[in-house]
Structure 1
Amino acid sequence: MRPLRFVALGDSLTEGVGDPVGENWRGWAALLADGLGPDVEFTNLAVSGSQTRDVLERQLPAALALRPDLVSVVIGVNDTLRRTFDIHAVAARLDEVYAALRARDVALLTACLPDPGAMLGLPGALAGPLARRQRAVNTVVHALSERYEAVHLHASEGAWLTDRAMWSADRLHPGERGHRQLAVRFHTLLAEAGLATGAGPCPEPEFPAPTRSAGLWWLATAGTGWVARRCTDLLPQLLTLAAAEVRHKARGSSARLDLSASHAVAAALAALSGPEQRPEVA
Protein backbone atom coordinates (compact mmCIF):
# COMPACT_ATOMS: atom_id res chain seq x y z
CA MET A 1 0.00 0.00 0.00
CA ARG A 2 1.56 3.30 -1.07
CA PRO A 3 1.96 6.28 1.28
CA LEU A 4 -0.72 8.96 1.52
CA ARG A 5 0.33 11.78 -0.80
CA PHE A 6 -0.45 15.27 0.49
CA VAL A 7 0.30 18.27 -1.73
CA ALA A 8 -0.10 21.88 -0.60
CA LEU A 9 -0.89 24.69 -3.07
CA GLY A 10 -1.05 28.39 -2.32
CA ASP A 11 0.95 31.46 -1.42
CA SER A 12 3.19 32.62 1.42
CA LEU A 13 0.75 31.46 4.10
CA THR A 14 1.07 27.84 2.96
CA GLU A 15 4.75 28.25 2.09
CA GLY A 16 5.17 28.82 5.83
CA VAL A 17 6.20 32.48 6.07
CA GLY A 18 6.23 33.43 9.74
CA ASP A 19 7.33 29.99 10.95
CA PRO A 20 11.10 29.76 10.36
CA VAL A 21 13.01 26.57 11.04
CA GLY A 22 16.71 27.03 10.37
CA GLU A 23 17.11 28.74 7.00
CA ASN A 24 13.70 27.63 5.72
CA TRP A 25 10.00 28.18 6.33
CA ARG A 26 7.94 25.30 7.76
CA GLY A 27 4.31 26.37 8.23
CA TRP A 28 0.92 24.83 8.95
CA ALA A 29 0.89 22.41 6.01
CA ALA A 30 4.12 20.70 7.06
CA LEU A 31 2.90 20.53 10.66
CA LEU A 32 -0.39 19.04 9.47
CA ALA A 33 1.37 16.45 7.29
CA ASP A 34 3.03 14.96 10.37
CA GLY A 35 -0.41 14.21 11.85
CA LEU A 36 -2.11 12.68 8.82
CA GLY A 37 -0.88 9.15 9.46
CA PRO A 38 2.14 6.89 9.81
CA ASP A 39 3.18 6.99 6.14
CA VAL A 40 2.80 10.33 4.36
CA GLU A 41 4.58 11.88 1.40
CA PHE A 42 4.29 15.68 1.66
CA THR A 43 5.09 18.14 -1.11
CA ASN A 44 4.71 21.89 -0.65
CA LEU A 45 4.27 23.67 -4.00
CA ALA A 46 3.12 26.98 -2.49
CA VAL A 47 5.09 30.07 -3.53
CA SER A 48 5.08 33.45 -1.86
CA GLY A 49 3.17 36.07 -3.85
CA SER A 50 1.08 33.54 -5.77
CA GLN A 51 -2.39 34.38 -7.00
CA THR A 52 -5.19 32.11 -8.22
CA ARG A 53 -3.75 32.29 -11.75
CA ASP A 54 -0.43 30.89 -10.50
CA VAL A 55 -2.16 28.02 -8.72
CA LEU A 56 -4.14 27.14 -11.84
CA GLU A 57 -1.37 27.49 -14.41
CA ARG A 58 1.73 26.37 -12.49
CA GLN A 59 1.01 24.63 -9.23
CA LEU A 60 -1.98 22.51 -10.28
CA PRO A 61 -0.21 20.68 -13.15
CA ALA A 62 2.74 19.92 -10.88
CA ALA A 63 0.38 18.64 -8.19
CA LEU A 64 -1.54 16.38 -10.56
CA ALA A 65 1.70 14.86 -11.80
CA LEU A 66 2.35 13.65 -8.23
CA ARG A 67 -0.95 11.69 -8.19
CA PRO A 68 -1.96 13.07 -4.79
CA ASP A 69 -4.61 11.75 -2.40
CA LEU A 70 -5.10 15.06 -0.55
CA VAL A 71 -4.50 18.59 -1.84
CA SER A 72 -4.88 21.86 0.07
CA VAL A 73 -5.77 24.97 -1.92
CA VAL A 74 -5.50 28.10 0.25
CA ILE A 75 -5.23 31.17 -1.95
CA GLY A 76 -6.82 34.52 -2.74
CA VAL A 77 -5.36 37.27 -0.55
CA ASN A 78 -2.78 38.31 -3.15
CA ASP A 79 -5.54 38.61 -5.77
CA THR A 80 -7.24 41.21 -3.55
CA LEU A 81 -3.99 43.21 -3.38
CA ARG A 82 -3.80 43.75 -7.14
CA ARG A 83 -5.40 46.48 -9.24
CA THR A 84 -6.45 43.74 -11.68
CA PHE A 85 -8.72 42.11 -9.07
CA ASP A 86 -11.71 40.49 -10.76
CA ILE A 87 -13.99 38.23 -8.72
CA HIS A 88 -15.31 36.63 -11.91
CA ALA A 89 -11.77 35.54 -12.87
CA VAL A 90 -10.97 34.39 -9.33
CA ALA A 91 -14.14 32.29 -9.19
CA ALA A 92 -13.51 30.73 -12.61
CA ARG A 93 -9.92 29.80 -11.74
CA LEU A 94 -10.82 28.27 -8.39
CA ASP A 95 -13.66 26.36 -9.99
CA GLU A 96 -11.26 24.91 -12.55
CA VAL A 97 -8.68 23.97 -9.91
CA TYR A 98 -11.22 22.30 -7.62
CA ALA A 99 -12.89 20.48 -10.52
CA ALA A 100 -9.60 19.11 -11.84
CA LEU A 101 -8.70 17.71 -8.43
CA ARG A 102 -12.09 16.22 -7.66
CA ALA A 103 -12.25 14.64 -11.12
CA ARG A 104 -9.32 12.51 -9.97
CA ASP A 105 -10.97 11.68 -6.63
CA VAL A 106 -8.48 13.85 -4.75
CA ALA A 107 -9.66 14.95 -1.31
CA LEU A 108 -9.74 18.76 -1.23
CA LEU A 109 -8.81 21.01 1.69
CA THR A 110 -9.75 24.70 1.56
CA ALA A 111 -10.01 27.74 3.83
CA CYS A 112 -11.41 31.25 3.84
CA LEU A 113 -8.92 33.86 4.99
CA PRO A 114 -8.79 37.03 7.12
CA ASP A 115 -9.15 40.48 5.64
CA PRO A 116 -5.63 41.89 5.07
CA GLY A 117 -6.72 45.48 5.63
CA ALA A 118 -8.03 44.68 9.10
CA MET A 119 -4.94 42.63 9.95
CA LEU A 120 -2.70 45.55 8.96
CA GLY A 121 -4.85 47.98 10.93
CA LEU A 122 -5.48 50.27 7.95
CA PRO A 123 -7.84 53.24 8.40
CA GLY A 124 -11.47 52.59 7.49
CA ALA A 125 -11.47 54.22 4.06
CA LEU A 126 -8.50 52.11 2.98
CA ALA A 127 -9.55 48.95 4.80
CA GLY A 128 -13.12 48.99 3.43
CA PRO A 129 -12.33 48.15 -0.20
CA LEU A 130 -9.91 45.38 0.79
CA ALA A 131 -12.44 43.92 3.23
CA ARG A 132 -15.08 43.90 0.51
CA ARG A 133 -12.73 42.09 -1.85
CA GLN A 134 -11.75 39.49 0.74
CA ARG A 135 -15.40 38.88 1.64
CA ALA A 136 -16.08 38.30 -2.05
CA VAL A 137 -13.24 35.77 -2.32
CA ASN A 138 -14.35 34.03 0.87
CA THR A 139 -17.94 33.79 -0.38
CA VAL A 140 -16.71 32.15 -3.58
CA VAL A 141 -14.50 29.74 -1.64
CA HIS A 142 -17.41 28.85 0.67
CA ALA A 143 -19.73 28.15 -2.26
CA LEU A 144 -17.22 26.15 -4.30
CA SER A 145 -16.02 24.20 -1.27
CA GLU A 146 -19.57 23.06 -0.71
CA ARG A 147 -20.08 22.29 -4.40
CA TYR A 148 -16.95 20.12 -4.57
CA GLU A 149 -17.38 18.61 -1.09
CA ALA A 150 -14.13 20.03 0.24
CA VAL A 151 -13.01 19.91 3.86
CA HIS A 152 -13.29 23.62 4.61
CA LEU A 153 -11.82 25.67 7.45
CA HIS A 154 -13.34 29.01 8.49
CA ALA A 155 -10.04 30.75 9.17
CA SER A 156 -11.47 34.23 8.56
CA GLU A 157 -13.10 34.36 11.98
CA GLY A 158 -12.41 33.48 15.60
CA ALA A 159 -10.50 34.80 18.59
CA TRP A 160 -7.17 33.80 17.02
CA LEU A 161 -7.38 36.83 14.69
CA THR A 162 -7.04 39.32 17.55
CA ASP A 163 -4.51 37.34 19.59
CA ARG A 164 -1.16 38.99 18.86
CA ALA A 165 0.65 35.89 20.08
CA MET A 166 -0.63 34.09 16.97
CA TRP A 167 0.87 36.54 14.48
CA SER A 168 4.30 37.46 13.19
CA ALA A 169 5.70 40.99 13.13
CA ASP A 170 4.19 41.79 9.73
CA ARG A 171 0.63 41.17 11.05
CA LEU A 172 -0.24 39.37 7.80
CA HIS A 173 1.33 35.97 8.45
CA PRO A 174 0.89 33.74 11.49
CA GLY A 175 3.88 33.13 13.70
CA GLU A 176 4.72 29.59 14.80
CA ARG A 177 1.83 29.52 17.29
CA GLY A 178 -0.58 30.71 14.59
CA HIS A 179 0.64 28.16 12.06
CA ARG A 180 0.21 25.48 14.70
CA GLN A 181 -3.32 26.72 15.38
CA LEU A 182 -4.18 26.35 11.69
CA ALA A 183 -2.64 22.87 11.59
CA VAL A 184 -4.59 21.77 14.67
CA ARG A 185 -7.89 23.07 13.26
CA PHE A 186 -7.29 21.48 9.86
CA HIS A 187 -6.35 18.19 11.54
CA THR A 188 -9.56 18.18 13.58
CA LEU A 189 -11.66 18.58 10.43
CA LEU A 190 -9.71 15.91 8.54
CA ALA A 191 -9.95 13.48 11.46
CA GLU A 192 -13.73 13.99 11.54
CA ALA A 193 -13.79 13.20 7.82
CA GLY A 194 -11.68 10.08 8.32
CA LEU A 195 -8.73 11.55 6.41
CA ALA A 196 -6.30 11.96 9.31
CA THR A 197 -5.33 9.01 11.49
CA GLY A 198 -2.21 10.31 13.22
CA ALA A 199 -1.92 12.32 16.42
CA GLY A 200 -2.83 15.97 16.00
CA PRO A 201 -0.10 18.63 15.87
CA CYS A 202 0.99 20.12 19.16
CA PRO A 203 -0.51 23.62 19.60
CA GLU A 204 2.43 24.87 21.67
CA PRO A 205 5.45 26.43 19.90
CA GLU A 206 8.68 24.49 19.65
CA PHE A 207 10.84 27.62 19.46
CA PRO A 208 10.77 30.85 21.48
CA ALA A 209 8.88 33.68 19.84
CA PRO A 210 11.08 36.31 18.16
CA THR A 211 11.89 39.27 20.36
CA ARG A 212 10.11 42.54 19.66
CA SER A 213 13.32 44.09 18.34
CA ALA A 214 13.92 41.13 16.01
CA GLY A 215 10.37 41.40 14.74
CA LEU A 216 10.70 45.12 14.11
CA TRP A 217 14.01 44.58 12.32
CA TRP A 218 12.44 41.98 10.03
CA LEU A 219 9.49 44.29 9.35
CA ALA A 220 11.78 47.22 8.55
CA THR A 221 13.87 45.17 6.12
CA ALA A 222 12.43 42.05 4.47
CA GLY A 223 8.87 42.67 5.66
CA THR A 224 8.60 46.13 4.16
CA GLY A 225 9.86 44.81 0.83
CA TRP A 226 7.35 41.98 0.96
CA VAL A 227 4.42 44.36 1.41
CA ALA A 228 5.74 46.84 -1.15
CA ARG A 229 6.13 44.23 -3.88
CA ARG A 230 2.51 43.19 -3.47
CA CYS A 231 0.95 46.61 -3.20
CA THR A 232 2.87 48.65 -5.80
CA ASP A 233 0.26 48.29 -8.51
CA LEU A 234 -2.65 48.47 -6.05
CA LEU A 235 -1.86 51.70 -4.19
CA PRO A 236 -3.05 54.24 -6.81
CA GLN A 237 -6.29 52.32 -7.29
CA LEU A 238 -6.71 51.81 -3.56
CA LEU A 239 -6.54 55.56 -3.03
CA THR A 240 -9.25 55.98 -5.67
CA LEU A 241 -11.36 53.31 -3.98
CA ALA A 242 -10.79 54.99 -0.62
CA ALA A 243 -11.99 58.32 -2.04
CA ALA A 244 -15.15 56.62 -3.29
CA GLU A 245 -15.58 55.05 0.15
CA VAL A 246 -15.43 58.47 1.79
CA ARG A 247 -17.90 59.97 -0.70
CA HIS A 248 -20.44 57.19 -0.21
CA LYS A 249 -20.11 57.43 3.56
CA ALA A 250 -20.73 61.20 3.43
CA ARG A 251 -23.83 60.61 1.33
CA GLY A 252 -25.06 57.76 3.49
CA SER A 253 -24.92 55.39 0.52
CA SER A 254 -22.19 52.99 1.66
CA ALA A 255 -24.65 50.10 1.39
CA ARG A 256 -24.54 50.50 -2.40
CA LEU A 257 -20.89 49.42 -2.44
CA ASP A 258 -21.68 46.27 -0.48
CA LEU A 259 -24.70 45.55 -2.67
CA SER A 260 -22.65 45.97 -5.84
CA ALA A 261 -20.00 43.59 -4.51
CA SER A 262 -22.66 41.03 -3.56
CA HIS A 263 -24.17 41.21 -7.04
CA ALA A 264 -20.74 40.68 -8.60
CA VAL A 265 -20.14 37.56 -6.50
CA ALA A 266 -23.57 36.17 -7.33
CA ALA A 267 -22.98 36.76 -11.04
CA ALA A 268 -19.53 35.16 -10.87
CA LEU A 269 -20.91 32.02 -9.25
CA ALA A 270 -23.90 31.87 -11.58
CA ALA A 271 -21.57 31.96 -14.58
CA LEU A 272 -19.84 28.75 -13.51
CA SER A 273 -20.99 25.39 -14.79
CA GLY A 274 -21.64 22.76 -12.14
CA PRO A 275 -19.50 19.63 -11.85
CA GLU A 276 -22.17 17.64 -13.67
CA GLN A 277 -21.78 19.79 -16.80
CA ARG A 278 -17.99 19.59 -16.89
CA PRO A 279 -16.25 17.25 -19.28
CA GLU A 280 -13.95 14.71 -17.65
CA VAL A 281 -10.38 15.88 -17.29
CA ALA A 282 -7.95 13.70 -19.22
Structure 2
Amino acid sequence: MTERIVFIGDSITDAEHTSDLRRLGHGYVDMIFDAFAARGADVEIVNNGIAGNRVAHLRERWQTDVLDLRPDLLTVFIGGNDTISTLFQGSPTPVADFERDLDDILTRAVAAGIPRIIVIDPFFVSDAPWAGNWKDGSEFARADLDTKRPVVRALADRHGAAFIPLQDHVTAAIAERGGAIVAPDGLHPSSFGHRLIARLWLATYDALA
Protein backbone atom coordinates (compact mmCIF):
# COMPACT_ATOMS: atom_id res chain seq x y z
CA MET A 1 0.00 0.00 0.00
CA THR A 2 1.27 3.45 -0.89
CA GLU A 3 2.63 5.41 2.05
CA ARG A 4 1.56 9.06 2.08
CA ILE A 5 4.13 11.46 3.51
CA VAL A 6 3.22 15.12 4.05
CA PHE A 7 5.77 17.88 4.59
CA ILE A 8 4.60 21.23 5.91
CA GLY A 9 6.55 24.36 6.73
CA ASP A 10 7.93 27.57 5.25
CA SER A 11 10.18 28.46 2.31
CA ILE A 12 12.79 25.85 3.21
CA THR A 13 10.22 23.13 2.64
CA ASP A 14 8.40 25.00 -0.14
CA ALA A 15 11.53 25.46 -2.30
CA GLU A 16 9.36 26.83 -5.14
CA HIS A 17 7.42 23.58 -5.36
CA THR A 18 4.43 25.19 -7.09
CA SER A 19 6.68 25.92 -10.08
CA ASP A 20 7.79 22.29 -10.24
CA LEU A 21 5.84 19.87 -12.42
CA ARG A 22 6.42 17.21 -9.75
CA ARG A 23 5.25 19.68 -7.06
CA LEU A 24 8.28 18.84 -4.94
CA GLY A 25 10.52 21.91 -5.35
CA HIS A 26 14.30 22.02 -5.52
CA GLY A 27 15.12 21.32 -1.87
CA TYR A 28 15.27 18.54 0.68
CA VAL A 29 11.77 17.23 -0.09
CA ASP A 30 12.76 16.57 -3.70
CA MET A 31 15.97 14.88 -2.55
CA ILE A 32 13.98 12.63 -0.21
CA PHE A 33 11.63 11.69 -3.06
CA ASP A 34 14.60 10.74 -5.25
CA ALA A 35 16.05 8.64 -2.43
CA PHE A 36 12.78 6.73 -2.11
CA ALA A 37 12.61 6.28 -5.89
CA ALA A 38 16.12 4.80 -5.83
CA ARG A 39 14.95 2.37 -3.16
CA GLY A 40 11.90 1.41 -5.21
CA ALA A 41 9.66 2.48 -2.31
CA ASP A 42 5.94 2.95 -2.85
CA VAL A 43 5.40 6.44 -1.45
CA GLU A 44 3.37 9.53 -2.22
CA ILE A 45 5.05 12.74 -1.11
CA VAL A 46 3.07 15.95 -0.62
CA ASN A 47 4.94 19.23 -0.24
CA ASN A 48 2.73 21.74 1.58
CA GLY A 49 5.41 24.25 2.45
CA ILE A 50 4.57 27.90 1.83
CA ALA A 51 7.25 30.58 1.79
CA GLY A 52 6.86 33.16 4.53
CA ASN A 53 4.73 30.95 6.77
CA ARG A 54 4.92 31.12 10.52
CA VAL A 55 3.47 28.59 12.93
CA ALA A 56 0.22 30.60 13.11
CA HIS A 57 -0.21 30.15 9.35
CA LEU A 58 0.20 26.39 9.73
CA ARG A 59 -2.47 26.44 12.41
CA GLU A 60 -4.86 28.25 10.06
CA ARG A 61 -4.46 25.70 7.26
CA TRP A 62 -3.89 22.60 9.36
CA GLN A 63 -7.21 20.91 8.60
CA THR A 64 -7.03 21.15 4.81
CA ASP A 65 -3.27 20.85 4.33
CA VAL A 66 -2.61 18.11 6.88
CA LEU A 67 -5.54 16.41 8.58
CA ASP A 68 -7.75 16.04 5.50
CA LEU A 69 -4.88 14.30 3.70
CA ARG A 70 -4.65 11.55 6.34
CA PRO A 71 -0.88 11.14 6.09
CA ASP A 72 0.91 8.03 7.24
CA LEU A 73 3.83 10.25 8.18
CA LEU A 74 3.89 13.99 8.84
CA THR A 75 6.93 16.26 8.93
CA VAL A 76 6.72 19.71 10.53
CA PHE A 77 9.54 22.20 9.93
CA ILE A 78 8.70 25.73 11.10
CA GLY A 79 10.10 28.57 13.19
CA GLY A 80 12.50 30.65 11.14
CA ASN A 81 9.93 33.19 10.03
CA ASP A 82 8.58 33.52 13.55
CA THR A 83 11.93 35.13 14.31
CA ILE A 84 12.84 36.80 11.02
CA SER A 85 9.46 38.49 10.54
CA THR A 86 10.25 40.58 13.61
CA LEU A 87 13.05 42.24 11.67
CA PHE A 88 11.49 43.03 8.30
CA GLN A 89 7.75 43.05 9.13
CA GLY A 90 7.81 44.37 12.67
CA SER A 91 5.57 41.47 13.64
CA PRO A 92 7.14 39.36 16.40
CA THR A 93 5.93 35.98 17.57
CA PRO A 94 6.27 35.86 21.37
CA VAL A 95 7.57 32.52 22.55
CA ALA A 96 4.33 31.84 24.45
CA ASP A 97 2.31 32.30 21.24
CA PHE A 98 4.74 30.12 19.32
CA GLU A 99 4.40 27.36 21.92
CA ARG A 100 0.61 27.63 21.98
CA ASP A 101 0.26 27.30 18.21
CA LEU A 102 2.81 24.53 17.79
CA ASP A 103 1.27 22.61 20.68
CA ASP A 104 -2.16 22.99 19.09
CA ILE A 105 -1.21 21.61 15.68
CA LEU A 106 0.72 18.68 17.13
CA THR A 107 -2.13 17.90 19.52
CA ARG A 108 -4.58 17.86 16.61
CA ALA A 109 -2.26 15.68 14.54
CA VAL A 110 -2.01 13.08 17.29
CA ALA A 111 -5.77 13.23 17.96
CA ALA A 112 -6.42 12.63 14.25
CA GLY A 113 -4.46 9.38 14.45
CA ILE A 114 -1.43 10.33 12.36
CA PRO A 115 0.82 7.42 13.33
CA ARG A 116 4.26 8.97 12.82
CA ILE A 117 5.43 12.57 13.12
CA ILE A 118 8.87 14.07 12.54
CA VAL A 119 9.63 17.56 13.85
CA ILE A 120 12.67 19.43 12.54
CA ASP A 121 14.52 21.96 14.66
CA PRO A 122 14.61 25.47 13.06
CA PHE A 123 18.14 26.77 12.55
CA PHE A 124 19.94 30.05 11.96
CA VAL A 125 23.50 30.88 10.88
CA SER A 126 24.30 34.13 12.64
CA ASP A 127 27.62 34.71 10.85
CA ALA A 128 26.35 34.07 7.32
CA PRO A 129 28.14 36.17 4.66
CA TRP A 130 24.90 37.52 3.24
CA ALA A 131 21.69 37.84 5.23
CA GLY A 132 19.51 40.16 3.14
CA ASN A 133 17.03 42.23 5.09
CA TRP A 134 17.93 40.60 8.38
CA LYS A 135 21.72 40.94 8.25
CA ASP A 136 21.90 43.80 10.76
CA GLY A 137 19.69 41.88 13.16
CA SER A 138 21.45 38.54 12.96
CA GLU A 139 22.46 38.58 16.62
CA PHE A 140 18.86 39.23 17.64
CA ALA A 141 17.61 36.55 15.26
CA ARG A 142 19.87 33.88 16.70
CA ALA A 143 19.04 34.88 20.28
CA ASP A 144 15.29 34.94 19.57
CA LEU A 145 15.33 31.59 17.81
CA ASP A 146 17.32 30.15 20.70
CA THR A 147 14.26 30.80 22.91
CA LYS A 148 11.99 28.93 20.50
CA ARG A 149 14.14 25.94 19.66
CA PRO A 150 13.82 24.34 23.15
CA VAL A 151 10.05 24.68 22.77
CA VAL A 152 10.17 22.72 19.52
CA ARG A 153 12.17 19.92 21.12
CA ALA A 154 9.97 19.80 24.22
CA LEU A 155 6.74 19.67 22.23
CA ALA A 156 8.10 16.98 19.93
CA ASP A 157 8.89 14.89 23.01
CA ARG A 158 5.52 15.63 24.60
CA HIS A 159 3.62 14.45 21.54
CA GLY A 160 5.77 11.41 20.82
CA ALA A 161 7.26 12.83 17.63
CA ALA A 162 10.72 12.04 16.34
CA PHE A 163 12.94 15.11 16.63
CA ILE A 164 15.78 16.18 14.33
CA PRO A 165 18.19 18.54 16.16
CA LEU A 166 19.06 20.39 12.98
CA GLN A 167 20.82 23.36 14.61
CA ASP A 168 23.36 21.01 16.19
CA HIS A 169 24.13 19.44 12.82
CA VAL A 170 24.23 22.80 11.05
CA THR A 171 26.66 24.13 13.68
CA ALA A 172 28.90 21.09 13.14
CA ALA A 173 28.76 21.54 9.36
CA ILE A 174 29.66 25.22 9.69
CA ALA A 175 32.70 24.32 11.78
CA GLU A 176 33.83 21.96 9.02
CA ARG A 177 32.77 23.81 5.87
CA GLY A 178 31.79 27.39 6.79
CA GLY A 179 28.46 29.20 6.91
CA ALA A 180 28.46 30.15 3.22
CA ILE A 181 28.45 26.48 2.25
CA VAL A 182 25.52 25.61 4.53
CA ALA A 183 23.21 28.65 4.30
CA PRO A 184 24.62 31.78 2.65
CA ASP A 185 21.89 34.07 3.97
CA GLY A 186 21.72 32.46 7.39
CA LEU A 187 18.22 31.06 6.95
CA HIS A 188 17.85 29.31 3.59
CA PRO A 189 19.96 26.20 3.01
CA SER A 190 22.30 25.86 0.07
CA SER A 191 22.19 22.63 -1.93
CA PHE A 192 24.66 21.31 0.64
CA GLY A 193 22.30 22.37 3.43
CA HIS A 194 19.32 20.71 1.77
CA ARG A 195 21.32 17.49 1.33
CA LEU A 196 22.16 17.61 5.03
CA ILE A 197 18.47 17.93 5.94
CA ALA A 198 17.51 15.12 3.57
CA ARG A 199 20.19 12.82 4.98
CA LEU A 200 19.10 13.47 8.57
CA TRP A 201 15.45 13.00 7.66
CA LEU A 202 16.06 9.68 5.92
CA ALA A 203 18.06 8.40 8.88
CA THR A 204 15.20 9.39 11.18
CA TYR A 205 12.65 7.75 8.88
CA ASP A 206 14.62 4.51 8.79
CA ALA A 207 14.82 4.50 12.58
CA LEU A 208 11.02 4.76 12.77
CA ALA A 209 10.44 1.84 10.42
TM-score range, shorter chain: 0.7 to 0.9
Aligned mates of 2:30, 2:117 — CA distance in 1: 16
**Segment of structure 1 superposing worse, 83-92 or 69-78:** 83-92
TM alignment of 1:27-176, pairs within 5 A: 27-36=27-36, 38-81=41-84, 82=86, 83-106=91-114, 107-115=116-124, 117-119=126-128, 126-158=137-169, 159-162=172-175, 163=177, 164-167=180-183, 169-176=184-191
CA shift for structure 1 position 140:
0.4
Letter in 1 for 2:11: S
CA shift for structure 1 position 127:
3.4
CA shift for structure 1 position 60:
4.5
Q: Calculate percent identity across the aligned residue pairs.
A: 25
Letter in 2 for 1:115: F
Could you say which residue in structure 2 is the equivalent of 1:184?
Answer: 199
- With over 3 angstroms needed to count, the CA separation of the structure-2 counterparts of 1:104 and 1:126, relative to structure 1, is same
CA shift for structure 1 position 59:
4.3
Structure 2 portions without partners, runs of 5+: none
TM-score w.r.t. length of structure 1: 0.60
CA shift for structure 1 position 120:
5.8
Letter in 2 for 1:89: D
Deviations 1:240-280 (A, max 9, x none): xxxxxxxxxxxxxxxxxxxxxxxxxxxxxxxxxxxxxxxxx
Q: Which has the larger radius of gyration?
A: 1
- Please say if residues 52 and 79 of structure 1, whose CA atoms lie closer than 8 Å, have aligned partners that are also in contact: yes
- For the aligned residue pairs, the C-alpha RMSD in angstroms reads 2.8
Aligned mates of 2:103, 2:139 — CA distance in 1: 26
- With over 3 angstroms needed to count, the CA separation of the structure-2 counterparts of 1:27 and 1:124, relative to structure 1, is closer
- Please say if residues 6 and 48 of structure 2, whose CA atoms lie closer than 8 Å, have aligned partners that are also in contact: yes
Aligned mates of 1:93, 1:6 — CA distance in 2: 22
Aligned mates of 2:129, 2:61 — CA distance in 1: 29
Letter in 1 for 2:194: H
The alignment partner of 1:42 has SS state of: strand
Aligned mates of 1:187, 1:136 — CA distance in 2: 27
- With over 3 angstroms needed to count, the CA separation of the structure-2 counterparts of 1:176 and 1:126, relative to structure 1, is closer
Deviations 1:103-159 (A, max 9, x none): 223211111122354446789994333222101110100100111111111111232
Give aligned pairs, total: 190
The alignment partner of 1:73 has SS state of: strand
Aligned mates of 2:185, 2:160 — CA distance in 1: 33
Aligned mates of 2:20, 2:60 — CA distance in 1: 29
- With over 3 angstroms needed to count, the CA separation of the structure-2 counterparts of 1:165 and 1:132, relative to structure 1, is closer
CA shift for structure 1 position 11:
0.3
TM-score w.r.t. length of structure 2: 0.79
